[in-house]
Chains A and B, each alone.
Chain A
Amino acid sequence: MNYQALLDRIMHAVDGDAYVVDASLISPAQREAMTRIGQSLDQLGPEAARALALEFHEAGKIDRVAFHNALHVVAASPQVADHAEAARQVALQEDAALEVGGPELQQNLASIDRHRGVLAFQKKRYAVALDYFSRAFERQRAAGNLANVLATLLRLGDEADAVSLLGEIRASFPAQLVAGLDHFIASDPDLALLRTESVP
C-alpha cells in the first residue's frame, strides 16, 4: 500500500476541514463561477483553482475584485499557506473594489476585512483578527463573520465574553442569522466550547 498517498489524503482532509470556503456571500451574477473555483480548490488543488479563476476572469465571468478575491483564498489556504501572496492579493482586491465602487462596495470591503482577519488569525495575531472580523460583520451581517468573531474571542481566552456575546446574539438577532451561526457552532471544533450554551 502506498502509505504516503494515504497520508496525503488524510492531510488534505484535515486541511479541508480546517479551512471553510464558500461563495454564498458573492453576488448572484458571479456566485456560480466562484463556487466552482472553491470546489476546484477543494477537489483538484490550488493550481487548478488558480487556472480556473484566470479562465473565468478572461471570459468575463468574474470581475477584477472577484479574481483577486479568489487568488487570495487560494494563497491563504493551508495547502499553499503563502501569506505574503495572500496579503498582496487582498491589496489588489481592495484596489479593484475601490475602483469599481457601486452597490457592491460594502460587501467587497467586508470580504477584504474578512480576508485580512483570516491572515491575522493564521499568524496567531488574534487581537488584530478580532478587529478585522468585527469590521467585516459591521459591513456584512453574515453568520460566518460572527463565527469568526466568536472563534477569535475563544482563541484570546475570553470564553466568558464569547458566551455572553452568543447569548445576546441569540436573544436579539434575526432567526435566520442565529440558525446560520448555530450551524457553524455545531460543526466547528474551534467553537465547541459554545455548544453547551442552550438554544432558547
Chain B
Amino acid sequence: MSCLFALLLSAFASFGLELPVEQWDLPDDALMMCSGDTEVDSDGEGEGEGEGEGAGEGTGTGSFTFTPSGSQDRERIYNGF
C-alpha cells in the first residue's frame, strides 16, 4: 500500500465515517511508511505497445476518425464551483 493511499484513508476516516479506520486494513507500519524522506514521482511514466491488423471490403460508405492534435494529453477533471 502506498504512503499516499494510507494518508488518503486516514483522511477519509478522520471526519466521522461510519467505517472505523481499523477496517481499512491498514498495515501496522502504514504511518511509518509516511515518515522520513518520501519521494514521489508525480510525473509518472508509461509505455505502451499496440498491434493491429485487419481486412475488410468497402461498401461505398465510410467514416473517419478525427484525432485533434494534443488530445492524448487531455484529461477530464471535475472543477465544480
By a beta-carbon cutoff of 8 Å, the part of chain A in contact with chain B is 7, 10-11, 14-15, 17-26, 34, 37-38, 66, 69-70, 73, 76-78, 111, 114-115, 118, 121-122, 124-128, 130-131, 134-135, 137-138, 141-142, 144-145, 147-149, 151, 153, 155-158, 161, 165, 168, 171-173, 184, 188-190
| A153 near B78: Cβ-Cβ < 8 Å | no
New A-B contacts (18) at CB < 8 Å, excluding given A24-B80, A172-B18, A190-B76: A10-B66, A10-B68, A15-B74, A17-B76, A20-B78, A20-B79, A25-B80, A70-B81, A73-B79, A73-B81, A111-B81, A121-B77, A127-B4, A134-B8, A138-B15, A147-B78, A165-B8, A172-B19
Interface size band for B: 20 to 34
| Distance, CA A78 to CA B71, complexed state (A) | 11
From the candidates A23, A77, A78, A190, name the one contacting B81 in the complex (CB within 8 A). Answer: A23
Contacts of A126 in B (CB 8 A): 42, 44
Query: How far in angstroms is the closest Cβ of chain B from A17?
Result: 7
By a beta-carbon cutoff of 8 Å, the part of chain B in contact with chain A is 1-2, 4-5, 7-9, 11-12, 14-15, 17-19, 24, 40, 42-44, 46, 66, 68, 71, 74-81
Interface SS of B by simple majority: loop
| B81 near A19: Cβ-Cβ < 8 Å | no
| A138 near B81: Cβ-Cβ < 8 Å | no
Q: Which of B4, B40, B74, B81: most chain A CB closer than 10 A?
A: B81
| Distance, CA A153 to CA B17, complexed state (A) | 21
Task: Give me 22 A-to-B residue pairs in the complex whose CB atoms sit less than 8 angstroms apart, sorted by A's number.
Answer: A7-B68, A11-B68, A17-B76, A20-B77, A21-B80, A21-B81, A70-B81, A114-B79, A118-B79, A125-B43, A127-B40, A130-B4, A142-B80, A144-B80, A149-B8, A158-B4, A158-B5, A172-B18, A173-B17, A189-B76, A190-B75, A190-B76
| Distance, CA A17 to CA B75, complexed state (A) | 9
| B5 near A161: Cβ-Cβ < 8 Å | yes
